[in-house]
Chains A and B, each alone.
Chain A
Amino acid sequence: MPRRFFGRKFFIVSVVTIVAVCMIVFGNPAFFSPVRYGVAMVLAPFQKITFLFSEKILSGVRLLSSIGNLKEENERLERENAALRAEKAALQDVKNENKQLRDQIQLLPRETFSLIAAEVIAPDPLGQGNWMTINRGTRHGVTTGAPVIVSGRILMGRVHEVFAASARVMLTTHPESVVNATVSDTGAQGIVRGHYGLGLTFDMALQTDSIPVGSTVVTSHIGDALPQGLSLGIVQEVHPSEDRLFQQATLTPSNGGMRQRFVFVIATGEEKK
């Protein structure tokens, strides 16, 4: 009896598993693109509806849970508001000075991205914060490799796959994601890598460089794939690499994980004049 049970079922599961493993290891991702494209086309309209529904539920839950904290939150926001007003006043001076200097050397403003607004219709299905699907695709001018940002200068990730009316974005926290980066305060150069379910790591920084805890890591000028100065994360902890040749830092991602509803795709190769 056990032999019979093992026989046919075990044969089926073995064959399916071997074929699947071969597909994972040796398969050409482009071969399955039509399948991905077809499924994405079918699901995209429904995903948008269910995502909006989930947002409504979430906002209801948040409202209920925040009622108790409203007073405390209000006081904190008032303090923060006062600090920001002071900071704004200080920055205004710097801005004017910056503008004058830019005018003098005839430099174009830095924040001149051509942006495509997009709505998130599906975060990472397995909840690891590695992917998101947006409702803009080839029809709207989205191209593979285009940077995706939020709140002006925070990098979410890059477009990995584009369909007609949707696109899949690989977030900076994905293990495949590697971005040239620099510590904004000290100018220490390195790369930012994603870690599966663990956030971001600033790596390959020289031992002699300074990486203060709490400083912001931004995209660097090295490589032309991404605009310079997009925020990636805040330094949480600094430690030497396993081989002791470099420094590594654990970062808290600036993008707030997959809880974004609206993002912007930077149209690559286009800059507003």
Chain B
Amino acid sequence: MERSVVRVVIILTVLVVQTSFFSALFAEGTVPLFPLVVVIAWTLLLGFMESWKWAVITGIACDAVFAMPMGTMVAILTVSSYGISFFSARFLTTHRAWGGALLSLLVVLTTVFMAQGAAVATIVTASRDLSSEELLLSPFPLLWQVLLTVILFWVTYPLLRRVEHQLSFYERKIDIKRHG
């Protein structure tokens, strides 16, 4: 129960920060994707079987706040979570530097996937014809967005790991019964 409440609070905080802090602070097209970062961190910390539910909840909340067609962020975040789980299980090594580099690469790929997916979903659901130049985002802002998202990931991941560690610590209950 405590875990769920804490995670819901984390999702709401992430949405507030994404919608009114990051989007105001960073230039158009370069805004780091905080919800994606949190879902990636949860996938790495909890595994896909636990994190996919939170990816769906985060996706629904994002769709509600981002004014995206409902289902867009749900699909993007769940597929991203699966992709992270799939590749991290196969390629992540215990070597710190290689592990970190590979993880950063996965964050880069999922960021591009999310930014591009959101663009495609908006244009597909728009009531007019697609143009090829609109489907592909400009590479320069996207590069910044990727870089900022990777930095945000490496700031957020240790914090979330600590939070999850604390939560798992408090959930270990010990029942002490009085005898006699």
A residues sitting closer than 8 Å to B (CB atoms) are 5, 8-10, 12-13, 16-17, 19-25, 27, 29, 31-32, 35-36, 38-40, 42-43, 46-48, 50-51, 53-55, 57-58, 121-131, 133, 160-161, 168, 170, 175-176, 178, 193, 195-198, 257-258
Contacts and interface: CB of A to CB of B under 8 A. Distances in A.
B122 A175 contact: yes
Contact size range, B: 35 or more
Contact of B78 (A16, A24, A40, A46): A16
Nearest to A28: B70
Interface class of chain B by DSSP: helix
A19 B82 CA distance: 16
Contacts of B48: 9, 12
Contacts of B70: 23-24, 27, 29, 31-32, 35
A124 B59 CA distance: 16
Given A54-B22, A128-B119, 11 more contacts: A21-B71, A29-B69, A36-B64, A39-B15, A39-B65, A51-B21, A53-B21, A57-B25, A58-B25, A123-B23, A198-B133
Interface of B: 12, 15-31, 33, 48-49, 52, 56, 59-67, 69-72, 74-75, 78-79, 81-82, 85-86, 89, 115, 118-119, 121-128, 131, 133-134, 137-138, 141, 145
Contacts of A25: 125
B78 A127 contact: no
Interface class of chain A by DSSP: helix
Given A23-B70, A32-B70, A131-B67, A43 B12 contact: yes
A50 B21 contact: yes
Interface centre among A5, A126, A258 (most CB of B within 10 A): A126
Given A13-B78, A20-B75, A24-B69, A47 B27 contact: no
Contacts of B124: 24
A42 B56 CA distance: 19
A195 B75 CA distance: 24
Given A17-B79, A121-B20, A126-B115, A23 B52 contact: no
Contacts of B133: 195, 198
Contacts of A20: 59, 71-72, 74-75, 78
A17 B78 contact: yes
